[in-house]
A and B are shown apart, each in its own frame.
Chain A
Amino acid sequence: MIASSEMPETKKSQGFLYEMNKHKILYLMCAPGLIVLILFCYVPFAGVWMAFTDFNVVDGIFGSKFVWFDNFKYFFSKNSMGWRVTYNTLVINFWGIILGIIVPITIAVLLNEIRGKAFKKLTQSMMFFPYFISWVVVGAIIYGIFSSDVGVANGILGWFGMEPIRWYSEPKYWKEIIILANVWKWSGYSSIIYLAAMSNFDGSLYEAAKVDGANKLQQIFRLTIPMLKPTVIVLTLLSVGRIFYGDFGMIYGIVGNNPVLGDEVTIIDTYVYQSMRTLGFSYSTAIGLLQSVMGLILITLANGVAKKVNDGEGLF
């Protein structure tokens, strides 16, 4: 359509260098951010090689002996903590996901029923507070509740005439404590996301439901919750995709390096950190890689599912 003499011109205008030159300011603006990503996310990929070697400092990453999958084999062997820490990670994350749906949605739905503005504002800022503090501070608070001599929990047990429990030497309670602490910390924040979704719902639907004689419970279960479903699905799939990743800060902030509780609360992330010192760089790298690969598979699957149920809207 265009005169033939102009053809090369248009071709040239679509070239890489032409685009770079035309929008050089925009690309330059991306540069600092991308450099940080390259330095801290992409360069370390080279080190993944260590997972397949028996790393020693003298020979360096690429000079050390290549041992194929030996490091991975050890993770699943009987004398390693592999299965144990995988189980811990999955259990803690599983309950974290379930309660992380139920509690924030309950809060959001009930907050929506409350008309008193001042009450709403006050309680919402109280519930938001845990989001603002670090896991170390949460750890201090948990110590205040569960320490054997002065803790609140033993005080309450005392009222009921029960024997005090030495919580910090009883591993069996700590999965629950960590799961609840996690829910406690995030619920206020997550409920805001659901409240935001709810503020977008069509008010006339509720009016119509009222005219039809639906009571509040029916409105909640027939309107609010079904309309929240897409948001819930996306957020849940996102956390399912990350089920092999644990929160290092949460575990270390709450139980620190307490050796007695280790069996119950060591997750893959803290295990990697601990094995770095005792079992060496290669082995820890292998576990980290295993975790990343599982994560990649799961998040890709989750994304596919999200696209199916949400009309092509995926996680990314």
Chain B
Amino acid sequence: MHRNGWLNDRFVTGFAYLFIALFAMMCLYPLLLTVSVSFSSEQAITKNGYSIIPQEFSLDTYRYIFANSGGRILRSYGVTIFVTIAGTLGALLLTSMVAYALSIKKLRYRNIIAFICNFTIIFSAGLIPWYIVNVNYYGLKNSVLALIVPSLFNVWNMFLLRTYFAHISPSLYEAAEVDGANHFTIYWKVALPLSKTALLTVGLMYALQYWNDWWHALIFINDRDLFPLQYFLYNILSNVNAISSGRIPSGASGSITLPAETVKMAVTIITIGPILFLYPFVQKYFVQGIMTGAVKE
């Protein structure tokens, strides 16, 4: 009986290692595949198909991309970097100010303000009225602001930050108040420095949202000079799978040159490059931030 139980536990642990290892591999495999194809020679890929080990290792694809559309890619990089930095900083400022104000219990109308925020989660006007207001009244068509302003305030992130601020000891605020500080000073000098993990987590969420956004570009941007990186990639890919569906007559697809297999994967790698680079550094804090945030809720 006892021995049986011991065997059983060993089995559970073994299964845990196996399952987790397999799932983790499944998550990483596509990335390795993409990297490998981007470093392979085009002929080898067309002949043998994709594989996880680079075939006839070559940097030709990257050379080709930067020689032919390097200017475009760098331009898109510029747009994405600008949007990400400006958006994240702006969003953090706006979100944390509201979060701080709502964490002060003395504020009498804070429930009304919280309701105004919450209601936008549960009910929205829908895409078309939103689009018309943005284009006809705010003039956001083909404007870089269209990529930044509409996402400046995320209600979920605001409530996450408010939970953090609410856990700061009120005596710290009182001490500052006695010293004659007003609420903005307390927010800036006490609350923000004490919430670094939370700000980092929420900041990363905003940064990721801005870096990965292409939907706003799809809707608002026609001007190629304003294409963010992800939308640049989307444009390369979207025609490809329409053509590979076989419905588009061969005559028509003849006029559209299909980007080579390795080129598609190399552009993908260029798009996620900075994320790959930053990932090992930020991942730890991110997990920490989400864990504490989830526990506190």
Chain B residues within an 8 Å CB radius of A197: 294-295
Q: Give CA–CA (A127, B24) in the complex, Å.
A: 5
The secondary-structure label for the interface of chain A is helix
The answer, yes or no, to whether B53 is at the interface (CB within 8 Å) is no
- Determine the chain B residues whose CB is within 8 A of the CB of A42 once the complex forms: 120
Q: Tell me whether B128 and A140 are in contact (CB under 8 A).
A: no
A144 touches B97 (CB 8 A): no
Residues of A within 8 A of B (CB): 19, 23, 25-27, 29-30, 32-34, 36-37, 39-48, 50, 61, 106-107, 110-111, 113-114, 116, 119, 122-130, 132-137, 139-141, 143-145, 147-152, 154-155, 166, 168-169, 184, 187-189, 192-193, 195-197, 199-200, 213, 215-217, 220, 241, 248-249, 252-253, 255-261, 269, 272-273, 276, 281, 284-285, 287-289, 291-292, 295-296, 299-300, 316
* B residues with CB within 8 A of A: 2, 5, 8-9, 12-13, 15-17, 19-21, 23-28, 30-31, 33-34, 37, 45-46, 49-51, 93-95, 97-98, 100-102, 104, 106-109, 113, 116-118, 120-134, 137-138, 149-150, 152-153, 155, 158, 182-184, 187, 208, 211-215, 218, 230-231, 233-234, 237-242, 244-247, 261, 264-265, 268, 271-272, 275, 279-280, 283, 286-287, 290-292, 294-295
Chain A residues near B213 (CB, 8 Å)?
134
List, in ascending order, chain A residues with CB within 8 A of B287's CB: 124, 128, 192
In the complex the two chains form, what is the Cα distance from A188 to B19 in whole Å?
13
Which residues of chain A are within 8 angstroms of B129 by Cβ–Cβ distance? 44-48, 50, 285, 288
Q: Is the CB of B13 within 8 A of A125?
A: no
Are the CB atoms of B97 and A29 closer together than 8 Å?
yes
Please report the number of residue pairs spanning A and B whose Cβ atoms sit closer than 8 angstroms.
318
In whole angstroms, what is the CA distance A187 to B109 when docked? Answer: 38
* Chain A residue contacts of B242, Cβ below 8 A: 256-259
Q: How far is the CA of A144 from the CA of B269 in the complex (A)?
A: 13
Contacts of A36 in B (CB 8 A): 94, 149-150, 152-153
Report A-chain residues with C-beta under 8 Å of the C-beta of B275. 132-133
Bound CA span A184–B25, Å: 11
Say yes or no: B241 contacts A168, CB within 8 Å: yes
List of 6 A-B pairs having minimum Cβ-Cβ separation, nearest first: A288-B126, A47-B129, A134-B212, A256-B238, A44-B125, A123-B24
Interface centre among A33, A192, A255 (most CB of B within 10 A): A33
| Least Cβ–Cβ distance between A19 and chain B, in angstroms | 5
Q: What distance in Å separates the Cβ of A282 from its nearest Cβ neighbour in chain B?
A: 9
Q: Inside 8 A of B104's CB, which chain A residues have their CB?
A: 23, 26
Q: B230 to A134, Cβ gap below 8 A?
A: yes
Chain B residues within an 8 Å CB radius of A289: 125-126
Q: Please tell me if the beta carbons of A125 and B280 are within 8 angstroms of each other in the complex.
A: yes
Given contacts A144-B37, A285-B126, contact A123 B20 (CB under 8 A): yes
The residues of B that contact A150 with a CB separation of less than 8 Å are: 45-46, 49-50, 261
Q: A292–B124 contact, CB under 8 A?
A: yes
Give chain A residues whose Cβ lies under 8 Å from the Cβ of B271: 134, 136-137
- Could you name 16 residue pairs across A and B whose Cβ atoms are closer than 8 Å? A23-B183, A29-B187, A36-B152, A44-B129, A45-B129, A111-B16, A129-B279, A137-B233, A137-B271, A141-B30, A143-B264, A152-B49, A168-B245, A188-B27, A215-B12, A249-B215
